[in-house]
Chains A and B, each alone.
Chain A
Amino acid sequence: MFYLFESDFLGLIPETFLLLGLSTLLGYGVWYEKGRESEMTSHQLWVGGLCLAFTFILLCESPLMNMILCFNTLIIDGMSAYLKALILLSTLCIFGLSFSYLQQERIKAFEYVILLLLATLSLMLMVSSYDFISLYLAIEFQSLGLYVLAALKRDNEYSTEAGLKYFVLGAFSSGFYLFGASLIYGLTGTTNFEDLGILFTGVGPTDLFTQGSVVVGLLFLSVAFLFKISAAPFHMWSPDVYEGAPTVITAFFSVAPKLALFGVLIRVFYLGFFDFLFSWQQIFFFCSLASMVFGSFGALAQVKIKRLLAFSSIGHVGYMLIGLATGSLQGLQGIFLYLLIYLVMTINAFSVVLSLRTHEGEPRFLLDLKNLNLKSPILALTFSLTLFSMAGIPPLAGFLSKFYLFFAALDASLYSLAILGVLSSVISCFYYISIIKLMYFHKAEEVQLKPLVGIDGQKGFLLGITFFGILFIFLYPSPFFLLSHAAALSIS
């Protein structure tokens, strides 16, 4: 007798657990504790965090390392395990940041936790999808959750506008994705990545018809993904959305979807279309160049903190696209390492930004950072070292990741990318250092300093642990090298 999906659910245990956990939380939110919403969000955050932690343990302890599930629509391999672990960690960090934020902003919506958990689940599915259909469903699942999260503050004009913009551009890029996928389906009759990879084996530049028509589909696909990771010519939505969305959600946007989308990009282009390397390499080459340049020059003109962080993340995406453009194992390893360190740096930067709150509200402008040294010397030191790390100054973590990617680019003879990468990180140093100047060397004025609200335990813990990572990953990087190498090996 043929059992349908006999062992598939064994491979999906982490996802199933997360789904059941968040359904329980949803039921709890609907039926229990009506009228005590503000306490309830805190309880839900704790339980949701616990749920994520157990999912993380289930994921790490899973005995199934390589498996193709559900009629070739999902896959588990080293890369999916690595990226899923990072996604879970990033959501856990966002939960840690949310405790005080939700209370300070008086967001009394238990949906917050559930939507974040749903988004995490969809990102995990995205990383393991192995087929255009399942990938589309996972991407839409993620987008639908994130649109609502961006517009979470229903009574705030900025937040709703961010939600609206995110919705329009997200739907637009999904349309591009679908068009590309439909063209490729029409040409090949399959939507499975592995089948595509096998089908295209050896289709070189000799077969001009196949080459030309597949490349049109690939162009649409890559434009869709580049929209979603906010790489340069398609980045115009991201500063607006990042500025308007609530700050914890901005932190989530700038980390978790990028982790998953890089996984998807690698899966599609390295598994499905690797034989068209020389066609798509040019797309990513151009976008990487443009992102680095726009990221560093655009950030120079910013006066608001969150917009600056948005441009900084565009620049980081540009560096990661270098690794994608190399088409080599080393480049992939560089991306995985960069994603890990980017996660640590971004969480640290956003926890500092969230800790800068005064009694008058959230800081919005860069000028609010002025004289931070006098208000809170430790916070100023942490933020300045994080900024140095983002700029890639040697003894810090950010240097390690950039160094590795640039060497991968040199090995793949992408000299111009490596040189431009170094130059643009020099330019980015300028605006990072100008923030440090604001914090330390701004002439103290007569006006009295507004005291900070204070940092709660969860945020303090996150600040400490990420700062530790930024300082010391460089001294003992071998576990991270090994992890990212294992993830990269599963693709080749």
Chain B
Amino acid sequence: MSLIHSLHVSFVVFLLGLVGIYLNRKNIILVLMSIELMLLGINLNLLSFSVSLDDLLGQIFALFILTVAAAESAIGLAILVIYFRLRGTIDIEFIRLMKG
């Protein structure tokens, strides 16, 4: 398997995450999942570059991204919980209290 093959996979995963954020009209949990998918694609990207360059830096970067992504989704879920407590819904259609 060459670099290009694994890059195809990671690009597709990244783009799926990206498109998921835009096309999703259901609820915010899906947005959070799409964000995680984006970060996963980036991690795969970094790891395959790191292997093909024979350089450790990419793997270190990927480890950092993993930990930070965990912290980020924790905060995102916390905000989601207080939002749900107030509004009783996490539907994207209803997140337009302010215009825009």
Contact = CB atoms under 8 A, between A and B. Distances in A.
A151 interface: yes
A456 interface: no
A189 interface: yes
A140 interface: yes
Given A136-B65, A156-B86, A244-B98, 6 more contacts: A137-B68, A151-B82, A154-B82, A157-B87, A161-B98, A175-B35
Given A144-B75, A160-B82, A189-B55, A182 B97 contact: no
B64 A137 contact: yes
A161 B83 contact: yes
Interface string A11-29: 0000000000000000000
Among A133, A185, A240, the one with the most B-chain Cβ atoms within 10 Å of its Cβ is A185
Contacts of B28: 164, 168
Contacts of B18: 175
Interface residues of A, number: 42
A182 B95 contact: no
Interface in A162-202: 162-165, 167-168, 171-172, 174-175, 178-179, 181-183, 185-186, 189-191
B91 to A, nearest CB: 12
Contact of A164 (B21, B52, B95): B95
Given A155-B86, A190-B57, A140 B68 contact: yes
Contacts of B31: 168
A109 interface: no
B57 A164 contact: no
A286 interface: no
A460 interface: no
Contact of A191 (B38, B42, B57, B68): B57
Nearest to A157: B86
B9 interface: no
Interface in B1-52: 14, 17-18, 21, 28, 31, 35, 38-39, 41-42, 45-46, 49, 52
A305 to B, nearest CB: 13
Instruction: Name the prevailing secondary structure of the B interface residues.
Output: helix
Interface in A218-262: 236, 239-240, 243-244
B60 A133 contact: yes
Contacts of A276: none
28 contacts: A136-B61, A136-B64, A147-B79, A148-B75, A151-B83, A157-B87, A158-B97, A160-B86, A161-B83, A161-B95, A164-B79, A167-B75, A168-B28, A171-B72, A172-B21, A175-B14, A175-B35, A175-B42, A178-B39, A179-B14, A182-B45, A182-B46, A182-B58, A185-B58, A186-B53, A189-B57, A239-B100, A243-B98
B68 A240 contact: no
A114 to B, nearest CB: 15
A299 B68 CA distance: 36
A116 to B, nearest CB: 16
The 8 A-B residue pairs with the shortest CB-CB distance in the complex, in nearest-first order: A186-B49, A175-B38, A178-B42, A160-B83, A171-B35, A182-B45, A182-B46, A240-B98
B4 to A, nearest CB: 11
A471 B57 CA distance: 51
A399 interface: no
Contacts of A172: 21, 35, 38
A132 interface: yes
Contacts of A179: 14, 38, 41-42, 45
A171 B98 contact: no
A179 B17 CA distance: 12
A18 B28 CA distance: 36
Interface in B49-100: 49, 52-53, 55, 57-58, 60-61, 64-65, 68, 71-72, 75-76, 79-80, 82-83, 86-87, 95, 97-100
Nearest to B17: A175
Contacts of B72: 140, 143-144, 171, 174
A132 B79 CA distance: 28
Nearest to A170: B72
Contacts of A191: 57, 61
